[in-house]
């Protein structure tokens, strides 16, 4: 039977990145798209619980013969609705993206793209999020599309470990400078915020979030290092957040907690 490939993103159903992803994999199975009706960058793993959701069929990918729905909620809502309302079954794999901008390192926790893929992985659907390190609306997705297809083919070819989830980032490089795909760990980096304080026309303060990405990790096996060297990075991601090392430390330190 033809595999079912669920595709979603966080930049919204009209973003060039999702069309590139669909075109890259559409001959590998039956592709169904359920994506937000508006940009949802930075939504993390948000879900919509206080208000109802809309879900509507759209003909935006009719030209390439792909069924698509737009949803008023977050990327995670899209995956939940896709499973329960659109497909009435688990898709065989879930692909999210291609995001306009990096989700490497700590960005995994803010990213709607990765949260959608993570939601699918929690459900037991092998999943991958793809992000191109280029924020431009008219970025060149050709290398990213090839990487996405390569990864999707392998995910469909054989059984993956339980809760399988990949964070795949693609560098902004010319084809001749692209070095290949590398398996990495998440770099220990963070955003150093610097809020821009302004006054509104009524004299009241407001703040714009700005920030600088700070990589504290000098390791050669990180996603940031791979991207800087011209490789696409693959970081396998856990949905069990338990820190086993700290668990052991606590058990030893506090034997009265048992």
Q: Which residues does the annotation place in the binding site for a divalent metal cation?
A: 10-11, 41, 99
Query: Is residue 149 within 8 Å of 169, Cβ to Cβ?
Result: no
Stretch (H or E) spanning 113 = helix 112-122
Q: What is the DSSP letter of 72?
A: S
d(CA 88, CA 83): 6
Is the CB of 52 or the CB of 203 nearer to a copy of itself? 52
Is the CB of 22 or the CB of 104 nearer to a copy of itself? 104
Q: Provide, rounded to whole angstroms, the least separation between the CB of residue 63 and a copy of itself.
A: 26
Q: Provide, rounded to whole angstroms, the least separation between the CB of residue 92 and a copy of itself.
A: 18
Polymer length of the chain: 258
Stretch (H or E) spanning 71 = strand 67-71
Q: Provide, rounded to whole angstroms, the least separation between the CB of residue 180 and a copy of itself.
A: 8
Closest CA to 135 of 23, 234, 39: 39
Strands 189-193 and 180-183: unpaired
Is the CB of 64 or the CB of 250 nearer to a copy of itself? 250
Q: Provide, rounded to whole angstroms, the least separation between the CB of residue 49 and a copy of itself.
A: 5
Q: Provide, rounded to whole angstroms, the least separation between the CB of residue 118 and a copy of itself.
A: 7
Is the CB of 22 or the CB of 114 nearer to a copy of itself? 114
Contact residues for 33 (Cβ-Cβ < 8 A; gap 6+) = 6, 7, 8, 13, 18, 22, 61, 66, 67, 68, 69
Is the CB of 174 or the CB of 208 nearer to a copy of itself? 208
């Amino acid at each position: 039977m033809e595999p079912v490939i669920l595709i979603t993103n966080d930049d919204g159903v009209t973003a060039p990145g999702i069309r590139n992803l669909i075109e890259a994999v559409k001959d590998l199975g039956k592709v169904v798209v359920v994506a937000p009706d508006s940009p949802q960058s930075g939504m993390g793993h948000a879900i919509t619980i206080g208000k109802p959701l809309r879900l509507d069929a759209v003909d935006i990918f009719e030209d390439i013969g792909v069924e698509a729905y737009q949803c008023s909620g977050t990327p995670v809502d899209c995956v939940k609705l896709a499973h329960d309302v659109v497909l009435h079954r688990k898709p065989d794999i879930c692909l999210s993206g291609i995001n306009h901008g990096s989700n490497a390192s700590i960005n995994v926790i803010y990213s709607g793209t990765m949260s959608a893929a993570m939601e699918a992985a929690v459900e037991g659907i092998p999943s991958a999020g793809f992000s191109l390190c280029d924020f431009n609306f008219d970025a060149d997705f050709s290398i990213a599309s090839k990487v996405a297809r390569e990864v999707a083919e392998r995910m469909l070819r054989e059984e993956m470990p339980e809760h399988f989830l990949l964070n795949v980032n693609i560098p902004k490089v010319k084809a001749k400078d692209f070095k290949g795909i590398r398996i990495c760990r998440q770099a220990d980096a963070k955003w150093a915020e610097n809020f821009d304080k302004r006054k509104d026309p009524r004299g009241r303060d407001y703040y714009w979030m700005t920030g600088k990405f700070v990589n504290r990790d000098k390791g050669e096996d990180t996603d940031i290092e791979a991207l800087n060297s011209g490789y696409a990075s693959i970081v396998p991601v856990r949905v069990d957040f338990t820190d086993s090392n700290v668990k052991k430390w606590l058990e030893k330190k506090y034997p009265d907690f048992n």
